């Protein structure tokens, strides 16, 4: 093996290791790990099981909100959420039928919501504006209509 090739391969290996280190540091030290909640639920009885029997938005602290939301073909419940600027919002999500996606354009919110599992994701909304919420996992004929908004005032 040539010397230049050894240098190249060492750099390649190093690059992958640096990638790993940064990813790990962000995930575990800075709390930026991807949404990985492990609670489960009976997907056919979502309406009867707390907290999803009462989907909605609750104020749980100073500029802190919890949103309990169900996803179903082809809507988000509750929709058209409003929060003041600077709020931290904790989303608790589950699906009542097929696999859906929960994406808020212009933020890092992006989570899969398969039936039977409860997914959780948190986001702080600093900038006022109207954010587009959409389903990004194909879920049927009306998939392109499955959207709502989060208004930050």
Partner 1 sequence: MAIPKTLKEKANKAMGISTEDARITKTYLFVAFMALLVGGLLGLLQGLNRAGLLELPSWLNYYQVLTAHGLLLVLVLTAFFTIGYFYAALSHTLGGLLPIVRKMAWIGFGLKIVGFVFAVIPILRGNASVMYTFYPPMAASPWFYIGLALIVVGVWMCAFGAFIQVANWRKNNKGKHVPILSFFATGVFILLFFGSLPVAIEVIVMIIPWSFGWVKTINVMVARTLFWAFGHTLVNIWYLTAVSAWYVIVPKIIGGKRWSDLLTRIVIIALVIMNITGGFHHQIIDPGISASVKFMHVFMSLAIGFPSLMTAWAMFAVFERTARKNGGKGLVGWYKKMPWGDVRFLAPFIAMLAFIPAGAGGIVQSTNQLNQVVHNTMWVVGHFHLTLGMSVVMTFFGISYWLVPYVSKRVLTPAINKLGVIQTIIWTVGMIIMSGSMHTVGLLGSPRRTSYTTYGDNATALGWDPYLLMLAVGGTLLIIGVLLQVYAVINMMFFAPKGETEFPIAEEEEGASKTPYWTERWGLWIVIMLIFVGMAYVIPLTEFIVNAPPGSPPFKTW
User: Does position 41 bind partner 1 by CB under 8 A?
Assistant: yes
Among 51, 64, 77, 137, binds partner 1 (CB under 8 A): 137
User: Does position 69 bind partner 1 by CB under 8 A?
Assistant: no
Among 59, 140, 151, 153, binds partner 1 (CB under 8 A): 140
Pairing status of strand 75-77 against strand 100-104: unpaired
* Minimum CB–partner distance for residue 59 and partner 1 (Å): 25
Compare residues 66 and 103 and give the one whose CB is closer to partner 1: 103
HSE, side-chain direction, 13 A CA sphere, residue 68: 13
Among 52, 69, 70, 103, binds partner 1 (CB under 8 A): 103
DSSP string, 7-25: HHHHHHHHHHHHHHHHHHI
| Nearest alpha carbon to residue 45 among 93, 140, 115 | 115
Pairing status of strand 75-77 against strand 81-83: unpaired
34/90 Cα distance (integer angstroms): 14
Binding residues (CB under 8 A) for partner 1: these are: 1, 5, 8-9, 12-13, 16, 19-20, 23-24, 26-28, 32-44, 73, 97-99, 101, 103, 105-106, 108, 110-120, 130-132, 134-145, 147, 149
């Amino acid at each position: 093996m040539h010397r230049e090739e050894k240098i190249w391969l060492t750099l390649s290996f190093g690059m992958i290791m640096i990638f790993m280190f940064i990813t790990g540091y962000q995930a575990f030290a800075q709390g930026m790990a991807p949404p990985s909640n492990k609670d489960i639920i009976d997907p056919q009885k979502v309406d009867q099981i707390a907290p999803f029997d009462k989907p909605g938005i609750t104020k749980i602290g100073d500029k802190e909100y919890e949103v309990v939301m169900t996803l179903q073909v082809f809507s988000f419940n509750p929709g058209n959420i409003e929060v003041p600027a600077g709020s931290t919002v904790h989303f608790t999500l589950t699906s009542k039928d097929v696999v859906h996606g929960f994406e808020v354009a212009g933020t890092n919110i992006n989570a899969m919501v398969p039936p039977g599992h409860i997914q959780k994701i948190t986001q702080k909304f600093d900038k006022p504006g109207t954010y587009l919420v959409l389903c990004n996992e194909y879920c049927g004929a009306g998939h392109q209509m499955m959207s709502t908004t989060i208004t930050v005032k």
